[in-house]
Structure formats: structure tokens, C-alpha cells
Amino acid sequence: MTRKKRRLYFVILGLLAVGAAAALVLSALRQDIVFFFSPTEIMEAKVPTEGRRIRLGGLVEQGSVVKDGATVRFKVTDGANALPVVYEGLLPDLFREGQGVVTEGRMGQGVFVASEVLAKHDENYMPKEVAESLKKSGHWQGEHPEQVQK
């Protein structure tokens, strides 16, 4: 086997692997990535959300949390609009009214049906997307009061 042939083998192998990976990535990018929206974007129907798995983020509206057995209803707000969310399951430890939250699920009839409510390890931590959507709607309160400025 000559040097050139070996190099050819190497290149073909590499191309095959990269080609397979590219095909998988492209098909996955179409189906498996999840877009993030704020309540305003969803309610003003700027985006096609019906049926697709999406993320909704914002603040948990004060006084909106209603627990009924293992089912929880609450509203996610970005200050301008609030979208009702229903979730069945155990809430993450750091879920609290007035705090930032990211939920994942599908849009139902005017209600966002969440299959996941994302927990954060650190209560000072505001999900970046939430902070930005609050800034966009003009309801950004600055850094979280408990956040330590370093």
C-alpha cells in the first residue's frame, strides 16, 4: 500500500464520518432544536408556535401560582404580557413567584403546556434569555438585588 493510497483512505474515511455527521446534524437541526420565546412574542403571534416544542421564559407572575395536587398553574410574564402555564410534576427547588423561570413544552389552547420547568443551581442566576427578553419589553429591573457585584 502506497503512501498516496493510505492518504486517500484516510481522506475517504474522514469524509464519510463527517458526511454522516452532517446529515444527522441537519436533520436534527430541523426537528430537535428548541426555540426560545417571550410571552409577548407568543401572544402577539409573531411566531408559528402551534404544535412545536418551544421554550417560554420570563418571570413567574406574583400571586399567579395555583397548586392542585401534582398540577401547577402559573403565569409567566415579561412585564408586558402574561401567559398562563400548566405543569404537572414536582417544581424545581428554586421555583418562586417573582423569579426568573424557563419552561419547555408546547402551546395548547391559549395555555402553555409545560413538560419541563427548568431549575437553576443558583438563585442569583437569571437565565440570560429571560434577562434579555425583559430588557426588550422594558421591564428590566437591573441586576437581581441579591446578586453580588464583583
Partner 1 sequence: MIAEIGHFALILALAVALIQATVPLIGAGRGNASWMGLAGPTSAAQMALVSISFAALMHAYVTSDFSVMNVAQNSHTDKPMLYKVAGVWGNHEGSLLLWITILAIFGFAVTLFGRNLPPGLKARALSVQAMITVGFLLFILFTSNPFDRLDPPPFNGQGLNPLLQDPGLAFHPPLLYLGYVGFSMAFSFAIAALIEGRVDAAWARWVRPWTLAAWVFLTCGIALGSWWAYYELGWGGWWYWDPVENASFMPWLAGTALLHSAVVVEKRDALKSWTILLAITAFGLSLLGTFLVRSGVITSVHAFATDPARGVFILGLLVVAIGGSFLLYALRAPSLKIGGLFAPLSREGTLLLNNVLMATGAGTVLLGTLYPLFADALNLGKVSVGPPFFNSVFLPLMVPMVLAMGVGPLMSWKRGDLAGALARLKIAAGLSIVVAVATWVLQGGSLGPWWAAGGMALACWLFLGTATELAERTRLFRVPFGQSLSRLGKLPRAAWGMTLTHAGLAVFIAGMTASSAWKSESVQSQKIGETITVAGYAFTLKDVQNVQGPNYLASRGTFEVTKDGKAFAVMQPQKRQYKMPPMPTTEAAIQTTFLGDVYAVIGDESSEGGYVTRLYFNPLVVWMWFGTGMMVVGGLVSLSDRRHRVGAPSRARVPANSVRA
6 part of the interface to partner 1, by CB under 8 A: yes
Q: Which stretch binds partner 1 (CB under 8 A): 10-18, 73-81, 107-115?
A: 10-18
> Least Å distance between CB 114 and partner 1?
13
- Report how far residue 5's alpha carbon sits from residue 9's, in angstroms, rounded to the nearest whole number: 6
DSSP 150: -
Under 8 Å between Cβ of 130 and 59 = yes
Q: Which stretch binds partner 1 (CB under 8 A): 7-15, 76-84, 105-113?
A: 7-15
DSSP 130: H
Q: Which of residues 45-104 bind partner 1 (CB under 8 A)?
A: 55, 67-70, 88-91, 93-94, 102, 104
Sign of the dihedral defined by the CA atoms of residues 144, 60, 66, 82, in that order: positive
18 part of the interface to partner 1, by CB under 8 A: yes
List residues bridging with 67 in a β-sheet. 72
111 part of the interface to partner 1, by CB under 8 A: no
β-pairing, 82-88 vs 112-118, is parallel
Q: Which stretch binds partner 1 (CB under 8 A): 3-11, 73-81, 106-114?
A: 3-11
Number of residues that bind partner 1 (CB under 8 A): 52
